[in-house]
Amino acid sequence: MVKLLADENLDNTIIRGLLRRNPNIDIVRVQDIDLSGEDDPVVLEWAADKGHVLLTHDVATITRYAYERLASNLAMPGVIEIHTDASIGRVIEDLFMILECGTPEDLDGQIYYLPL
């Protein structure tokens, strides 16, 4: 099962929609694990240590730090970048397709952009 970490800037409507559709999704919010306000590398390190794929709207900086982790041969279980102007319904559908069809190994070291 793919485990998710929601960045603090992620629209909570997406999280609520995911959990409404499947309450068994393993998703943790940065705010709930005392990482609010932490730098992106710290968030990515936590995600790597715990094996969570990061969900974020932060296309500007997270991507760079994710690629830096990969270039340094550090664990990077995956990042899913969600464009802020994307339809919430479409994002939820795309996430479910990834969650239902993918495995943690499929996402390892990958950066996906939603909508697909």
Q: Are 6 and 83 in contact (CB under 8 A)?
A: no
Residue 21 to residue 65: CA distance in whole angstroms: 31
pLDDT at position 116? 86
Q: Are 44 and 62 in contact (CB under 8 A)?
A: yes
Confidence of residue 60 (pLDDT cuts 50, 70, 90): confident
pLDDT at position 14? 96
Percent of the chain with pLDDT over 90: 95
